[in-house]
Every structure is written in structure tokens, then in C-alpha cells.
């Protein structure tokens, strides 16, 4: 056999193995918890990687909070966000990555569990629960822990156009990302 034939046979045998070793992950899922406004919240997201430096993220945020005025009013937010992220900074081997993203928000705001009367004397005028619309901007700091896991520090600023509680709400938290 000629050397060229041996090279082609070896290339056919080892090419699939090289592809498996050099494969990058297309999808990730993330779960995080933290502070949402003055209360607590959580986030679950799925990422689809467009390239090594950009991805699309679908995220669900849930918060439980209390609006503090003359009287405390419990409320909760449920937000769905579809964002485009791009890398703002990274180390050469992407052990540390800072990404920024923007996207639209659709959500639901539940004030006082849907009840307008807080007690016998106080009621919330125009405080019924409703659908929210707006935008969100996010920053994520991703620290690679292993080949399939990373630690995420994230902050997301929500702008709700039609919220009765407040137009700007921030979520800042820590989570785990799984690559598959």
C-alpha cells in the first residue's frame, strides 16, 4: 500500500473521533436564584448558541416581593424574556466570559393575590393583576467550573411599560449552567 492510501484510511477512521473531541455545545440550561426588586426571585433559561460569541436565550423569571408604601402590598411577577446575547469580554480559552443581552419581555403581575381590598379600610385603586410588556437588558459573567458546568453571576434590568408597582425592576443572582 502506498503512504497516501494509508493516510486516507487513517483519516476515515479517526475523523469522527476528532470531531467528537473538538465538538462545542449547542445548548445550555441555567437555573439561578437571587434578589428581585426588594424580594426574592428565580430564573430558568435555555440558550441556543449561534456561534462561539453569541447566543439566543429564552428565560422565565419568577419573583415574590412586597411593595412598601404606607402599607405593605404583596405582589409577584412572572416574566418571559427572549434575548440576543453577545460576548463583551472573555479570556483566550473562554474560562471567564462576560456577555450582554437585550430582548423583549412579556409577563404577568399579580398584586395582592388578585384582590383589590387589602383590609376593611384600604383598597388598591387600579391595582388589578394584568399582563406586562416591556424590555430587558442583561449582563452575565460565566466562570467555567468543568467541561459541562459553569457558575453564572447575572443581573437583568426589566422595564415594564404598564406596571402599577414600578416600571424598573432588577434581578441579580447566582446560578449553575449546564452544557449539552
Q: Residue with C-alpha cell 393583576?
A: 129
Q: Mean per-residue pLDDT for 7-36?
A: 70
pLDDT at 127 over 50: yes
pLDDT at 23 over 50: no
Rounded to whole angstroms, what are the CA distances from 177 to 28, 81, 120, 123, 134?
Answer: 7, 17, 47, 43, 26
pLDDT at 124 over 80: no
CA distance 109 to 132: 7
CATH class, 25-179 region: mainly beta
List the single range of 28-37, 56-65, 66-75, 152-161 with lowest mean pLDDT.
66-75
Task: Write down the domain spans for the chain.
Answer: 25-179
Percent of the chain exceeding pLDDT 90 equals 59
Task: Decide: 53 and 86 in contact? Cβ < 8 Å.
Answer: yes
The pLDDT mean for the chain works out to 85
Amino acid at each position: 500500500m502506498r503512504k497516501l492510501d494509508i493516510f486516507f484510511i487513517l483519516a476515515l477512521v479517526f475523523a469522527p473521533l476528532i470531531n467528537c473531541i473538538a465538538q462545542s455545545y449547542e445548548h445550555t440550561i441555567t437555573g439561578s436564584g437571587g434578589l428581585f426588586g426588594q424580594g426574592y426571585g428565580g430564573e430558568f433559561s435555555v440558550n441556543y448558541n449561534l456561534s462561539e460569541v453569541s447566543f439566543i436565550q429564552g428565560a422565565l423569571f419568577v419573583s415574590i416581593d412586597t411593595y412598601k408604601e404606607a402599607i405593605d402590598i404583596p405582589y409577584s411577577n412572572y416574566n418571559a424574556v427572549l434575548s440576543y446575547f453577545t460576548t463583551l469580554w472573555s479570556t483566550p480559552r473562554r474560562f471567564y466570559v462576560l456577555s450582554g443581552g437585550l430582548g423583549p419581555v412579556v409577563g404577568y403581575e399579580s398584586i395582592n393575590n388578585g384582590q383589590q381590598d387589602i383590609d376593611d379600610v384600604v383598597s388598591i385603586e387600579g391595582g388589578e393583576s394584568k399582563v406586562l410588556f416591556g424590555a430587558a437588558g442583561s449582563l452575565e459573567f460565566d466562570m467555567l467550573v468543568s467541561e459541562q458546568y459553569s457558575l453564572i453571576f447575572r443581573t437583568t434590568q426589566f422595564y415594564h411599560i404598564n406596571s402599577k408597582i414600578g416600571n424598573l425592576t432588577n434581578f441579580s443572582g447566582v446560578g449553575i449552567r449546564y452544557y449539552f
